[in-house]
Amino acid sequence: MRRMKLGMAAVAVLLAGSLTACGEAGDDDNEGVDVDVKEDAAEDFDEGTRMRELAEEGKVTIGVKFDQPGLGFKGATDDAPSGFDVEMGKILAADLGIDPENIEWKETISDNREPFLEAGEVDLVLATYSITPERRAVVGQAGPYYVTGQQLLVRADSDIDSLDDIRGTEVCSVTGSTSLENIKAEGATPRGFDTYSECVSQVLDGAVDAMTTDGAILLGYAAEQPDDLKVVVEPFSEERYGVGYSLDHPEMCEWINETIEESFENGQWEEAFNLTLGEAGVETPEQPELDPCPAS
């Protein structure tokens, strides 16, 4: 697994290197979106809000995934994570007048996102964090900033291009995940693994016919190896990624939604997507409609 991560990091480095060599992408690829860090941001927020506090402190802690290329990924040798979730985090921080350097990135895994928010270990969570009623009972989830759905990742030369094709085949994902249950319901034999990266290597080696999980995650892997992998079929579930915040600070919801809207309008959201998941050659998705914030 460690080796896999290193392998991915190597790919990422090569990719970055080749891009720089071509002279494309103008600024340093690792920097991602060119965010406009607001000057004197604290003035914009009312006294007593969490946003004001953060702006005055000049730093923020954001929980992201470290193992999902394209969304939140940090290789063993990387200083900071990268991916669409990470870029969205930078956009939010910039609105508080916080420079990307002053963001503390914390790794959150699926199981600890709510506990981290509740305990104040992180201020925000952007970690492929699907909005569900159960989660909204314990934490706040603003957005969605991205809507994805379960799809299939197959080898580039695979014939699979519809859900019907996977009946009777073997499809891998993470052991115990909802994606695996769903694919079983579609008539495939589920093959569970501990991590997505092991599952990807099963696809590459021909040990399984496909991998399944949220399309966004699959796109990240496809972006790393566009010659060997591709994402197929229309999403057959809906996953709406939201920004997690603590219910102790309900005022954050409106601010998050406004900042996301702003990024829709000024093109930063699209830029963030294109620099990360867009690498897979997928068109920029439609801008999702944001849920209204709960009345407080």
Partner 1 sequence: MEAVFSNFGEYLDAFGVTLALFAVSGLASMVLGLVLATMRVGPVSVLRGAAGLYVTVFRNTPLLVIFIFMAVAAPKLGYTFRFVEDVEIAGWNVSAYFTRACIALTLYTSAFVCEGIRSGVNSVQLGQAEAARAVGMTFLQSMRHVILPQAGRAVIPPLASVQIALAKNTSVAAVFGMAEATATMRAFNNNYADQRVQIFLLFALGYIVIVEIISFGSHMLERRAKVA
Which residues of the shown chain bind partner 1 in the complex (CB under 8 A)? Answer: 134, 170, 172, 175-178, 180-181, 189-194, 198, 201-202, 205-208
Q: In terms of CB distance, is 22 or 185 closer to partner 1?
A: 185
Nearer to partner 1 (CB atom), residue 56 or residue 181: 181
Name the residue with tokens 């566009």: 226
Structure tokens at 39: 């000057």
Task: Give the integer Cα–Cα distance in Å for 86 and 51.
Answer: 19
> How is the beta sheet containing 140-148 ordered, strand by strand?
103-107, 60-64, 124-125, 239-245, 140-148
Q: How far is the CB of 141 from partner 1 (least distance, A)?
A: 17
Q: How far is the CB of 36 from partner 1 (least distance, A)?
A: 40
Contact 180, 129 (CB under 8 A): no
CB 177 within 8 A of CB 220: no
The nearer residue to partner 1, 21 or 185, going by C-beta atoms, is 185
| DSSP H or E run through 79 | none
Closest approach, Cβ 206 to partner 1, in A, equals 6
CB nearer partner 1, residue 24 or residue 205: 205
Which residues partner with 286 through β-bridges?
Answer: none
Q: Min. distance of Cβ 184 from partner 1 in angstroms?
A: 8
Least Å distance, CB 257 to partner 1, is 27
Closest CB to partner 1 among residues 198, 261: 198
